[in-house]
Structures are given as structure tokens and as C-alpha cells.
Amino acid sequence: MNKQDTGDSLAVIDRRDFLMAAAGAAAAFAMSGFAGNTRAAAPHALPPLPYAENGLEPIITAKTMGFHYGKHHKGYVDNLNKLAAETEYVGLALEKIIADTAGRAEKAAIFNNAAQIWNHTFYWQSLKPNGGGEPPAALKQKIEASFGNMDGCKKELAAAALSQFGSGWAWLVLDGDKLKVVKTGNADTPLTTALKPLLTIDVWEHAYYLDYQNRRADYVNGVLDKLINWEFALRNLG
């Protein structure tokens, strides 16, 4: 449904979980008999979802998850593996590929797919079944210091998600010792900046259109009230 499936924006993943998932997938790949492939590096793998495809219902349906994770996220992985083959990017960690290709027009296709893999893995972890509600005390304190109160934080996240023109992402980030909200277009990600991503909301149409059509606000508010994973944001605070 997006014209430009290869060009999403970037988000933040739990690096440790992500690397563990990637290592597990690589091991499974090796055991399945592909170990003899003469191309040295294991390809990038689609990290497992942290919950079942219907785990976020009714806010995000299994049908949306099937396309978003099973087609779009997987598509970025398949595209990157094709694009990186026979280049200097074979075998490099996703974060290194993103850092090296960011802002370089001639590397846009590799950047877009690599960043979208990372953004989506981060997004799945930014949500959870029975999420929303009160953040853990340590995060709540930080939110209150930065936004006045919880409502102020949620309003800023919603405003960023709703005002992003076209495809992109809304982010809660750490900027020095303050939290703030930023938005990025297409595949762009705070990962390539000094900002530390804490959580993200995907506002590409493929994230909500099957469930909400043009009602992006209903999707965003549902995510903030019922799915957002504040514990994940706290872990990223470090």
C-alpha cells in the first residue's frame, strides 16, 4: 500500500535482544545445511516477533501483523540481503551498515532497507500485549521532569505521530539527560544522531490502514493507551 516499500524510516531496537535473535537465526540457518555456502557471512535474518501475531488485538489485528511483519519487515530483510551481496556490506552488522550509508544518496537503497529492518525490530519491542498504563517509577520520574506529566508526554508523542506528513516514525528519545519527542520521515532514524531512541511508533500507512483506514489518530491513541511498552523504554534508558 505504500508506493515506496523499500524506503521506511529508522527506529531503535533493543540491541542485545536483536543481536541474540540474529545469532539464533544464523545458527538455525547453519544447522539447516546452508553452512557450506562459500559466501562468508550469514545473511541478515528476520528477528522473531516478541508476541503472537494476534497478541496486539484488538488495537492491531493479526491481519495487519501478517502483512506488516510477514511481508513488509521480511521484505526489507530480503531486499538488504540482495542489495548487500557482492558489496563491502556483506557480513556487517546492521548498525554499521546504517551508520556508513546514512545521508549518502548513492547508498540510499541499502540505507533504507537496513534502517527499516532496525526500525521495525525496535517498533515491535516498543509495543506489548496489555501495554500502556503507568510507566515504571524511574521512567515516570524522568517523563515528569521532561514533559511536566504523563499526559504531556503522550500528547507530544501523539502530535508527532499525527503531524508526520506521509510515511515515518514518532520517537521518544533521550537527548543528553532529558527526554524528548522527535519524528522522522521514511526510513530515517535517530540512531544516526546523538539522540538515543527509547521507543517508537510506526506511522507508515501499512502500520494501520487495514484496521483504521485514514484514521491515524485512532491507531496512535490505541497504541499509546493499550500497547506502548514503557518497560522497554526504561531498559533503553540504560
Q: Which residues bind Mn ion (CB under 5 A)?
A: 202, 204, 207
Choose between 171 and 204: whose C-beta lies nearer to Mn ion.
204
CB 189 within 8 A of CB 197: yes
CB of residue 44 vs Mn ion: minimum separation in angstroms?
Answer: 17
CB of residue 161 vs Mn ion: minimum separation in angstroms?
Answer: 13
Choose between 172 and 207: whose C-beta lies nearer to Mn ion.
207
Choose between 9 and 146: whose C-beta lies nearer to Mn ion.
9
DSSP code, position 85:
T
Choose between 156 and 202: whose C-beta lies nearer to Mn ion.
202
Distances (CA, A) of 86 to 6, 74, 75, 103, 111: 19, 21, 19, 22, 16
CB of residue 8 vs Mn ion: minimum separation in angstroms?
Answer: 6
CB of residue 123 vs Mn ion: minimum separation in angstroms?
Answer: 7
CB 125 within 8 A of CB 13: yes
Shortest Cβ contact with Mn ion: which residue? Answer: 202
Reading the block at residue 42, the C-alpha cell is 550469514
Q: Read out DSSP for 166-206?
A: SSEEEEEEEETTEEEEEEEETT--GGGSS-EEEEEEE-SGG
Distances (CA, A) of 221 to 128, 158, 208: 15, 7, 12
Choose between 170 and 207: whose C-beta lies nearer to Mn ion.
207
CB of residue 125 vs Mn ion: minimum separation in angstroms?
Answer: 14
